[in-house]
Amino acid sequence: MVVMTTRHHMFRLLGTVARGSTASGFRNSPRPGIGGKAGGGPATTALFCISALWSVGQTVSFATVRTPQAMSTAVDATRDSVKEYYGKILTKSDDLKTNACTTDANMPDSVKAVMPLLNDEVIAKYYGCGIVMPEALEGCNVLDLGCGAGRDCYIISKLVGPEGRVVGVDMTDEQLEVANRHVDFHTKSFGYDKPNVEFKKGYIEKLADLGLPDNYFDVIVSNCVINLSPDKDAVLREAYRVLKPGGELYFSDVYSDRRVPQDLVDDPVLFGECLSGALYWNDFLTIARRHGFNDPRLVSDSRITVSNKKIEKRVGHIGFFSATYRLFKLPELERDCEDYGEAVVYKGTMASSPQSFTLDNHHTMDTGRVFPVCRNTLHMLMGTRFARYFDKVGDGKTHYGIYPDCGKPIPFASAGAAGGGATAGAKPAAAASTGGGCC
């Protein structure tokens, strides 16, 4: 397997640099900056390749690599391993050794209605870890990052309707062959005059190479794929670029409760099973905010069980979770949830959600009920495709401080004793620190 050679290549490169360091000026070269923006000669980067490859606390290796040989060796090895695992080793979803890349969430009725219309081969080649069909997709332009054999693309193709458009991106030939083979089948199955879905071969870190323009997509989805990327920063940066203002990145992926050790990252089975490439959840939040996705919202999560004894022994006490997040391209979002005395009323007019609408794991709004929200939540509802389904209550002219249940109380010890004010003595909500809502 190719990933097993990654460390070997890195140490070989390190030895080469060490032997030539004096002549190259390595000892006097400054450490290269993140993204390769700061100086250093061509030999300055290899020492940093030994740090872990994929979790953000350890991404200095890829983020700072400036030597073309080092960059191509590490990144290409990772991509080749993923292509091998998903293109040749796995032939159906039952071949997976854990439930990290399988779905146990309840399907919405709108998705259940589409499933009988899908081709059997497309369903068999599905390796996702959640349900990535957000509400209100009719007429939208949707991008699927890591579309595989196209199951989610075809479901969304039906949900957006003939006036919508779906683009799927993947780098694995075998998966794309399946997806493209059944375009006509699904066009007829959905009763469309022409296809509204297309598949592009390429890398989710390099969407510009595929001609995908700025500010184009209403929604981006991804299903258990970003953890397989060697450059997660680039994935989120590109996602933000191609989203329209007010657009949404809605995706399920795998996260860990701590940073994954390098020896596990190098294991091709653990990586292919969507485990060892998982981001530590707090590093994910940092990366998301770095690229403009302020206030990530956790929709749902479940613990991943490892029934394979060998894999269980390898991962030890590391906890892995399958989680679905919403990230919005809303520059006006603040770092924390601020209270302006505002509320919304859900009209109940979404066909898929007549009784209530769930934004995230802290916000389920019943039809017709006045629901107090922080300013960020208001933007997520009124500054996006959801606006037509809500009425706003309150003028928002007065700021009342941080929202009491935001998870970040007033820091002053005397505030509780003094009383007075919405934030006095507020206690943090347990789930808020992992990306939950405010109220």
- Domains with residue ranges and CATH for the chain: 2-78 (no CATH), 93-328 (3.40.50.150), 342-434 (3.40.5)
Residues 6+ apart with CB under 8 A from 72: none
Q: Are 167 and 142 in contact (CB under 8 A)?
A: yes
Average pLDDT over residues 24-42: 34
Q: Is the confidence at residue 341, as pLDDT, over 90? A: yes
Mapped onto helix, strand or coil, the DSSP state of residue 418 is helix
Alpha helices in 145-231 (DSSP H): 151-160, 173-181, 183-189
Mapped onto helix, strand or coil, the DSSP state of residue 203 is coil
Which of 19, 20, 47, 22 minimizes the C-alpha distance to 32? 47
**Antiparallel, parallel or unpaired: β 217-223 and 141-145:** parallel
Which pLDDT does position 10 carry in this prediction? Answer: 33
Q: Are 427 and 415 in contact (CB under 8 A)?
A: no
Among 169-178, 331-340, 427-436, name the one with the lowest average pLDDT.
Answer: 427-436
How confident is residue 80, by pLDDT bands cut at 50, 70 and 90? low
Which pLDDT does position 263 carry in this prediction? Answer: 94
Q: What percent of the chain has pLDDT over 90?
A: 62
Among 23-32, 146-155, 158-167, 202-211, name the one with the lowest average pLDDT.
Answer: 23-32
How far apart, in whole angstroms, are the C-alpha atoms of residue 379 and residue 334?
10
Which pLDDT does position 421 carry in this prediction? Answer: 46
Residue range 268-315, pLDDT digits in tens: 989 888 899 999 999 999 999 999 999 999 999 999 988 889 999 999
Residue range 361-395, pLDDT digits in tens: 999 999 999 999 999 999 999 999 999 999 999 99
Place of tokens 């596990």: 264
Which pLDDT does position 107 carry in this prediction? Answer: 85
Q: Are 205 and 229 in contact (CB under 8 A)?
A: yes
What is the C-alpha end-to-end distance of the chain, expressed in Å?
A: 48
Mapped onto helix, strand or coil, the DSSP state of residue 97 is coil
Residue range 176-199, pLDDT digits in tens: 999 999 999 999 999 999 999 999
Which pLDDT does position 35 carry in this prediction? Answer: 35
How confident is residue 406, by pLDDT bands cut at 50, 70 and 90? confident
Q: Is the confidence at residue 104, as pLDDT, over 80? A: no
Q: Angle at CA 84, nearest 5°, toward 69 and 156?
A: 110
How far apart, in whole angstroms, are the C-alpha atoms of residue 58 and residue 286?
13
Which pLDDT does position 366 carry in this prediction? Answer: 99
Backbone φ and ψ of 17, nearest 5°: -65, -45
Average pLDDT over residues 327-341: 96
Which pLDDT does position 101 carry in this prediction? Answer: 56
Alpha helices in 51-172 (DSSP H): 60-64, 68-84, 109-114, 120-124, 151-160
How far apart, in whole angstroms, are the C-alpha atoms of residue 397 and residue 322?
39
How far apart, in whole angstroms, are the C-alpha atoms of residue 112 and residue 73?
43
The token pair at 425 is 């003595």
How far apart, in whole angstroms, are the C-alpha atoms of residue 93 and residue 127?
6
The order of strands in the sheet holding 342-346 is 370-373, 342-346, 390-393
Q: CA dihedral defined by 168, 122, 118, 169, rounded to 10 degrees?
A: 0
Residues 6+ apart with CB under 8 A from 417: none
Which of 227, 232, 248 minimizes the C-alpha distance to 133? 248
What are the Cα distances from residue 295, in Å, to 68, 130, 264, 298, 326?
35, 21, 30, 10, 9
Which of 357, 376, 383 minimizes the C-alpha distance to 432? 376
